[in-house]
Amino acid sequence: MARTELQTGDAPCELKPVASDPTLPRIVDFKNVSKVYHPGTRNEFTSIRDISFHIEDTPDVGEFIGILGPSGCGKSTVLRLIAGLAPHFPATTGEVLVHGQPVEGPGPDRGFVFQDYANFPHRTVLENVGFGLECAHVPDKERIERANEWIAKVGLDPKKDGGKYPHQLSGGMNQRVAIARTLIMHPRIILMDEPFGALDPGTRQNMQDLLVKLWRELEATVFFVTHDVSEAVYLGDRVFIFSPSPGTIVHQLAVMPPDRPAAEMQVEPAFLSSVKEVRRLLDQAGKPAL
Ligand SMILES: Nc1ncnc2c1ncn2[C@@H]1O[C@H](COP(=O)(O)OP(=O)(O)OP(=O)(O)O)[C@@H](O)[C@H]1O
C-alpha cells in the first residue's frame, strides 16, 4: 500500500493513518484478494488486484468504513465478496474471512443495502420491512410489532405509511424502507452500495444522520461505498481510497467520527480541510505513476 502523505490546509486537518490493534479478533479479513473475470480468454479482466486489509471486531462499537474510488475500480466487488454474492463471489485468488471463517455464500450476519432500494413492488411497507422475519418464521403478532417498530425507527409513520406500496413512496422513503428491511435482522456487518446516490442533498444529509443513529444503536460494522467525498469523511471512522481498475487500496485514513448532525459538521473548517485532503489523495491515486 502506498504511503499515506497528509498535508495540512488552512484549518487543522483531522486525518490520520489507521492504527491497528493486533490483540483484537478480526471481523473482516482480506488476504491478497484478486478477482479475474473470464480468465484465460481474450475477455480476461482483472477487477481487483491483491487487496489486503482487516477490520477489527471492537467490543460494543462497530467500525464505519467509507469506500471511495473512481468508477469501475472494484468497490462493489469488495462489498459483494464480503456478502458472498455472485458473480463477484468467489474471489479468484486470496482469502476473504468473516469472523475468521472463509465466506461461503450469503448469510444473515451480513445485510446489503443497494442504491436502487430493491424493495418488493407488490408488498406493502409493512410486508417489505417484515420480509426477513417472515422467512425466519417469526409468528405474525411479533413480526408485525417488530416491523412497525422499525418503520418508526427509520422515520416513517407505521399507521400512515405501513400500508403503502413502494411506487407510492419518494426515493428517500423507499430507501428508509430498504434500510429498515435490512437492519431489522440485526446483521453484524452492513454493506451499503451508494445507498444515498439517488437522493437530493437535503434528503441525503437527513439519511446520513439517521444512519449514524441506527449504526450506533446496532453497534455493527458498516462498509459504505460512495462517490461523495464529504459523505465518506462524515460517516466514516476510516476511509479507504482505491486506485483505478484493477482496484487496490492505496490509502487507509482514520477520520473524525460523526459526533454532530451532518448539516452542522459538514460546514466546519476542520471538516472541510479533511475533505480537501481526501480529494487530493483521491485525485493523486487516479493519476498514473510517473
Ligand atoms: N460479471 C462481470 N464480468 C466482467 N466484468 C465485470 C463483471 N462484474 C463487474 N465487472 C467489472 O469489474 C470492474 C469493477 O466493477 P465494480 O462494480 O466492482 O466497480 P465499482 O468501483 O463499484 O464501480 P462504480 O463506482 O461505477 O459502481 C468494472 O470494470 C466492471 O465492469
pLDDT digits (tens, 9 = 90+) for 122-178: 999 999 999 999 999 999 999 999 999 999 999 999 999 999 999 999 999 999 999
What pLDDT score does 13 carry? 52
**Closest atom of ligand 1 to CA, residue 194:** 27
CA distances from 195 to 12, 92, 166, 226, 250 (A): 30, 27, 16, 8, 24
- pLDDT at residue 9 above 50? no
DSSP class of residue 166? G
Distance of CA 153 from the midpoint of ligand 1 (Å): 33
Closest C-alpha to ligand 1, atom 10: 47
Q: Is 95 helix (H, G, I), strand (E, B) or coil?
A: strand
Q: Is 278 helix (H, G, I), strand (E, B) or coil?
A: helix
Kind plus residue range of the DSSP H or E element containing 79: helix 75-83
Ligand 1 lined by 43 (C-beta under 6 Å): no
Ligand 1 lined by 85 (C-beta under 6 Å): no
Least Cα distance to 126 among 209, 184, 194, 57 occurs for 184
Residues 174-219 have pLDDT tens digits of 999 999 999 999 999 999 999 999 888 889 999 999 999 999 999 9
Q: Is 237 helix (H, G, I), strand (E, B) or coil?
A: coil
Contact 84, 105 (CB under 8 A): yes
Ligand 1 lined by 226 (C-beta under 6 Å): no
Summarize the confidence of residues 261-287 as an average pLDDT: 92
Ligand 1 lined by 87 (C-beta under 6 Å): yes
Closest C-alpha to ligand 1, atom 12: 47
C-alpha cell at 21: 490493534
Contact 223, 192 (CB under 8 A): yes
